[in-house]
Amino acid sequence: MDMVLLHGLLLLLPLAALLLYRYNATFHYFCKMAFFHCWLVVMATVLFPLALLRGRSVENMKLLRFAIRPLKHLYGIKMQVCGSENLNTKEPYVMVCNHQATIDLMGMVEFLPDRCVPIAKKELVYMGIVGWACWLSGFIFINRHKTEDAICVISRTARTMQRENLRVLIFPEGTRNGDKSMLPFKRGAFHLAVQAQVPIIPIVISPYWDFFSSKDKKFTSGTCTIRILPRVETQGLSPKDVPQLTETVRQAMADAFAEMSAGHRGDHHAEQLPHCTRASAGRGTRSLQCDKDTSRASN
């Protein structure tokens, strides 16, 4: 009798989990986040040997992109990229982007160009196989608790950018921020661009509020818009210009973010955008590419 009861319970468990997943938003959120992290671990494990053959190289970022790209299809996130033509240059540059959550990774693979590595917190290296994959892909790690060390790494990066024609992606807020406005910007990215005398390309990812919130434990499907703003030149600027440069770029990004917050109405809105043409992303999910950048941000 006990065995029958046990078997009955074992059968009921998956059903209960399924119902919870369907009707309980918090359970749904944790399942999706768990799957997201498991995906990274599995992909890192599978692709690690391939990357190892090449050794530490920015070329491994291609593997990383390949590994992350399917996630938007699995999560039903439609991506809309505006202003891709602002990346049409062969030279090195510094990309600065707002950082809302770990799921930013899905958006990043939509715009990250070749020969571009992110600057990341040192703690990532200790995330086992995922950390090693990041290291093999050429991630630049900084210790946020040791300002001098971090500045040293950034100065070295400025020289590497020129020497190896490298692009660098930095999150100038310095931490994840899901709030309605951007945090004040740290100045490392702007010092880097001035030291290397390369342009800054600001990127703004639209707020996730309508489909994702770590605070409210919400994770549904939705649309994400990415705006690539016009480049900001740094030729002839010196370290004393960095505070002004930082503020100019932050203002441009904050304006775009505010505009996207007001205008972001999910799929319905995307259909109505006159400047967007749809590009097939395959497997049932669409990506939209803008014909021209319509941001009002100034440089």
Ligand X SMILES: CCCCCCCC/C=C\CCCCCCCC(=O)OC[C@@H](O)COP(=O)(O)O
Point out which residues bind ligand MYA (CB under 6 A): 61, 64-65, 68, 99, 105, 108-109, 112, 118-121, 142, 144, 147, 150-151, 154-155, 170-172, 174, 186-189, 191-192
Question: In a 3-state reduction of DSSP, which class is residue 104?
Answer: helix
Distance (Å, whole) CA 5 – CA 92: 66
CB atoms within 10 A of CB 231: 19
Find which of ligand X, ligand MYA, none residue 109 binds, CB within 5 to 8 Å per kind. ligand MYA
Nearest approach, Cβ of 7 to ligand MYA (angstroms)? 45
DSSP state, residue 182? P
Query: Which residue of 36, 47, 182, 212 would you call a contact of ligand X, by CB under 6 A?
Result: 47
Cβ nearer to ligand X, comparing 124 with 237: 124
Question: Does residue number 232 form part of the binding site for ligand X (CB under 6 A)?
Answer: no
Q: Would you call 214 exposed, middle or buried from its count of C-beta atoms within 10 A (0-12, 13-18, 19+)?
A: middle
Find which of ligand MYA, ligand X, none residue 202 binds, CB within 5 to 8 Å per kind. none
Question: Does residue number 116 form part of the binding site for ligand X (CB under 6 A)?
Answer: no
Backbone angles phi, psi at 17, to 5 degrees: -65, -40
Q: Which amino acid is at 15?
A: L
- Which residue, among 220, 216, 210, 215, has the nearest Cα to 266 in the 3D structure? 210
Sheet architecture: strand order including 77-82: 140-142, 116-121, 167-170, 94-97, 200-205, 222-228, 77-82, 286-290, 276-280
Question: Does residue number 142 form part of the binding site for ligand X (CB under 6 A)?
Answer: no
Find which of ligand MYA, ligand X, none residue 130 binds, CB within 5 to 8 Å per kind. ligand X
Distance (Å, whole) CA 9 – CA 14: 9
Cβ nearer to ligand X, comparing 112 with 232: 112
Cβ nearer to ligand X, comparing 39 with 269: 39
Query: Which residue of 67, 79, 201, 224 would you call a contact of ligand X, by CB under 6 A?
Result: 67
Contact range with ligand X by CB under 6 A, out of 46-54, 149-157, 200-208, 243-251:
46-54
Q: Would you call 203 exposed, middle or buried from its count of C-beta atoms within 10 A (0-12, 13-18, 19+)?
A: buried
Nearest approach, Cβ of 53 to ligand X (angstroms)? 10
Question: Does residue number 84 form part of the binding site for ligand X (CB under 6 A)?
Answer: no
| Binding residues for ligand X restricted to 172-231, rule: CB under 6 A | 175-176
Question: In a 3-state reduction of DSSP, which class is residue 295?
Answer: coil
Tell me which residues touch ligand X (CB under 6 A): 40, 43-44, 47-48, 51, 60, 63-64, 67, 99, 102, 105, 121, 124, 130, 133-134, 136-137, 175-176
